[in-house]
Amino acid sequence: AVAGVGGGGGTKGRGDVPEKEWLDLRRRYPAGKFSDQAVRSLYWMDPEAVDKNVDLLEAVVAHICREGPAGDGAILVFMPGLAEITAACARLSTSALVAEAARAGARRGGAAGASTRV
């Protein structure tokens, strides 16, 4: 059997997600709207990883501001929910790392120019 797709034992579709959790997820995410793969991904998603990834987001935005192409531009970031978006905006708008990178980018005519807005 292909990993996560069947394998007998009544696990078809749910892969290695325990049956009780699978049934709970399927009540929240009906089959007509969400694929089995999407529901499995939701089960394995670590909500704490989003908090950890804000650090990475800050570093990536700073890098783009510092080293990105010259001229005006924008950075589009997708986050899974309002709480994560709010946390990312709060971090980026108060980040000394991003502010310094924006100044460095402005000095060399980089992506951030003279302003950064979140």
Q: Give 92-107 pLDDT, tens digit per residue.
A: 999 998 888 888 877 7
* Alpha helices in the chain, H assignment, sequence order: 19-28, 36-44, 47-67, 82-93, 96-108
How confident is the model at residue 1, as a pLDDT? 32
Domain ranges in the chain are: 1-45, 47-108
How confident is the model at residue 89, as a pLDDT? 92
CA-based nearest residue to 61, from 4, 116, 108, 11:
116
Tell me if 3 sits within 8 A of 15, measured CB to CB. Answer: yes
Q: Give 23-59 pLDDT, tens digit per residue.
A: 999 999 999 999 999 988 888 876 666 666 788 899 9
pTM over 0.75: no
